[in-house]
Amino acid sequence: MPGGIAWTAPRPVPRLGAMKTRLALRIVVAAALAGPAVTVSFANESIQAASDKSKSPPRLKRADSFLGIHYDFHAGPDCTEIGKNTTRSMIENIITQVRPDYIQIDCKGHRGLSSYPTQVGHQAPGFVGDPLRLWRRVTAEHGVALYMHYSGVWDSEAIIRHPDWAAINADGKVNGNATSFFGPYADRLLIPQLRELAGDYGVDGVWVDGECWASVPDYGAAGLAAFGQATGITDVPRKPGDPHWFEFLEFHREAFRRYLRYYIAEVKRTHPGFQICSNWAYTDHMAEPVSAPLDFLSGDYSPDDSVNSARLSARYLARQGIPWDLMAWSFSRRTGQTGTNQKAAVQLQREAAVVLALGGGFQAYFKQKRDGSVFDERVPVMAEVAKFCRARQAVCHRAEMVPQIALLLSTAGHYRRINGLFSRDLSRVSGVLQALVESRRCVEVLGEHHLAGRMARYPLIIVPEWDYLDPAFRDDLRAYVEGGGSLLLIGPGSAAMFADVLDVTLDGSPQSQPRFLSHKELLAATGGPVQSVKPGPGAQAVGRLHADDNPDSASQPAASIATLGKGRVAAVYFSLGQTYAAARDHATRGFLDDLVGRLFPDPIVRVEGSDGVDVSLAANHGKLLIHLVNTSGPHQSEPVIETIPPIGPLEISIRRPARPSSITLEPAGQSLPFEFADGLVRLTVPRVEIHDIVVLVDEP
């Protein structure tokens, strides 16, 4: 197809229905383009001396960066004077106050109109000068890297002008937003425009938005032909439940991966130093091993309920093996009690702390005005956040998590559950995670590829309400338990996959009916499916599920524990993650914490004194780090938080093989008195405002 990616199947591919363990797609991207090459002539390949790297202060690579600020405004037809109020003093004000490693600004939003005077794309209606050149010149003079916010797969203007570039919906209509992986969009617009930004403007890189999460299955002729060639399937599914629906989605997931690798390679072929990120690729949005040569990973977590959003995303990114950061929205979608949606500095500092505690970099998103200038009055908010982050950089950045509890975000289970290519349906995982961290447990969120060959490092692995796991991975989990590990299965689907080792009889199929969990004289309503079981002689029943909101009503076991080899396997027979995500109940959280305590009685660190503290355990430069993030208050429900009450005192116990040489509280550098006896350090942290780190240095 002219200007597109050629798709071939070199030999017949067996039907996927015969494959029991893994989908094998044979999708081959031809190295040469089927149509004529697109040539871009750059008028200013040699940029102004002020932005020439040889004459400017050195700029950090994104892999080495820690702190940034992001601006975008998704230029539209209303933008007729872009650049009118973009001045040197405006840009220098940001740099002087925030002192970022990098700045990201808008160059093409979802509407598809470029907010700089592009020669290869679709310009917004009007410009006053060339504001992008000014941004580049000033940032280069100050040694600050400049990245572009660029909407990739999502480009509405490209589709308006070229309907044949669009993905086709199941009903045969043109998708108004999503471009096709099988059409000429990448070669005719995406790649030439990224080369223009890299070559003519000399920007450092791009943060490509609207990518995996905006991708859709494509029913266009080229896509369907490629699907048939790759799989041998001729009866194309149109909706969930149709035969081969899963195979159809998997084919398009692989098509996106190929598309991503293709355009990265093409841009780097001519501009190898240009740094590329595809927003949300290989994160919890696209929870799988990294298979594209991205320079860094990133995503903008939810502007509301942000603490919980960042908790999950940061924990998954921490083990992906590529430099990463997360972006906060500096504002909420809703108005707070003070009549504004602008978040206060303390609120953003807490969101930053959740990310920093997992070793990542941090950036925050502030809006640009419709003329591309910024709101100067909002810069001091980010300046305060920046000071908070910089004070913690030396301790936090690139720290590695210390294995304790692994919470499984299954690639195989997730892709069989969702009905989009890379959509989220993670309430079950998030609910369990929230219950664990609100019990002050140290948890990582890991995929199968993170655990492969490393299971034995984790004292406890939790499988949260997955209905499918690859059979080979199930075998690995069994071997892990037999070797001495502890496995906790949550939900009827997870339990059913291991019913043969739980020593219970599953009584009928799971039923979605009201049940009430009893825990320490408290009753909590549960939601989602419940599995009735009859424990065998080797299964120890734990907790009760009652038929009514009455402790004297008929009941069944809520969970059970059995021995397998040298280890133990436990199962929870109701949908605990869904239940806790919907209502953060003390009984549900306490029940899970007690069950975890039976399976994992000796964690490295325990913290008592407040329910509102996230605890994470990391190591950096040979030091043990215990992060304490104050998550008290209504962060789930309040859009704007002006103050965060301090928590404390916190009583902390830490298992160590020998007495530490020193313990300090950072970033204050305060020496902490402690006691050491029988392999246990005991100390008190009197007060945590937002985020403190207990740093232990062992004797040499």
**pLDDT tens column, 498-511:** 999 999 999 999 99
Q: What is the mean pLDDT of residues 687-696?
A: 98
In the structure, what pLDDT confidence band is assigned to residue 44 with cuts at 50, 70 and 90? very low
Residue 34 has pLDDT above 90, yes or no: no
Work out the percent of the chain whose per-residue pLDDT is above 90. 88
Q: Encoding tokens for residue 568? A: 């133990």
pLDDT, position 402: 98
Residue 73 has pLDDT above 60, yes or no: yes
In the structure, what pLDDT confidence band is assigned to residue 268 with cuts at 50, 70 and 90? very high
Residue 19 has pLDDT above 80, yes or no: no
pLDDT, position 175: 98
**pLDDT tens column, 152-203:** 999 999 999 999 999 999 999 999 999 999 999 999 999 999 999 999 999 9
pLDDT, position 52: 57
CA distance 104 to 476: 43
Q: What is the reported pTM?
A: 0.92
Pairing of strands 400-401, 361-367: unpaired
* 667 upstream amide cis, omega within 30 of 0: yes
CA distance 355 to 362: 7
CA distance 509 to 605: 39
pLDDT, position 699: 79
Q: What is the mean pLDDT of residues 294-314?
A: 97
């000071």: which residue's tokens?
387
Out of 1.10.287.130, 1.10.10.10, 3.30.70.100, 2.60.40.1180, the CATH code matching 605-698 is 2.60.40.1180
CA dihedral 564→568→569→574, nearest 10 degrees, is 140
CA dihedral 218→222→224→228, nearest 10 degrees, is -140
In the structure, what pLDDT confidence band is assigned to residue 53 with cuts at 50, 70 and 90? low
Question: Is CATH 3.50.30.50 what the domain over 403-599 is classified as, yes or no?
Answer: no
Question: Is CATH 3.20.20 what the domain over 7-300 is classified as, yes or no?
Answer: yes
pLDDT, position 336: 80
Nearest-5° Cα angle at 273, 272 to 274? 95
- Three-state DSSP state, 383: helix
Please name the residues in contact with 387: beta carbons below 8 A apart, sequence gap of 6 or more: none
Mean of pLDDT over the chain: 92
CA distance 149 to 329: 14
Residue 484 has pLDDT above 70, yes or no: yes
Is 538 or 17 the better-scoring residue by pLDDT?
538
CA dihedral 352→357→358→359, nearest 10 degrees, is 90
Give ranges for CATH 3.20.20 in the chain: 7-300
pLDDT, position 339: 84
Q: Sign of torsion, CA 227 228 229 231? A: positive
Give ranges for CATH 3.40.50.880 in the chain: 403-599
Q: What is the mean pLDDT of residues 410-428?
A: 95
**What b/e string do you get for 422-443 counting C-beta neighbours within 10 Å, with b at 16 or more?**
bebebbbbbbbbbbbbbbbbbb
CA distance 271 to 206: 12
**pLDDT tens column, 371-410:** 999 999 999 999 999 999 999 999 999 999 999 999 999 9
Residue 351 burial class via C-beta count within 10 angstroms: exposed 0-12, middle 13-18, buried 19 and up: buried
Give ranges for CATH 2.60.40.1180 in the chain: 605-698
Residue 252 has pLDDT above 70, yes or no: yes
How many helices, marked H, and strands, marked E, lie in the chain?
18, 33
In the structure, what pLDDT confidence band is assigned to residue 39 with cuts at 50, 70 and 90? very low
Work out the percent of the chain whose per-residue pLDDT is above 70. 92
pLDDT, position 12: 30
Residue 563 has pLDDT above 60, yes or no: yes
Q: What is the mean pLDDT of residues 269-294?
A: 98
Per mean pLDDT, which range of 52-56, 475-479, 553-557 is the poorest?
Answer: 52-56
C-beta separation of 699 from 658 below 8 A? yes
C-beta separation of 517 from 587 below 8 A? yes
In the structure, what pLDDT confidence band is assigned to residue 424 with cuts at 50, 70 and 90? confident
Q: What is the mean pLDDT of residues 336-352?
A: 92
DSSP state of 82: B
Number of neighbours of residue 496 by Cβ within 10 angstroms: 17
**pLDDT tens column, 86-140:** 999 999 999 999 999 999 999 999 999 999 999 999 999 999 999 999 999 999 9
Please name the residues in contact with 677: beta carbons below 8 A apart, sequence gap of 6 or more: none
Number of neighbours of residue 361 by Cβ within 10 angstroms: 28
pLDDT, position 337: 78
CA distance 376 to 557: 59
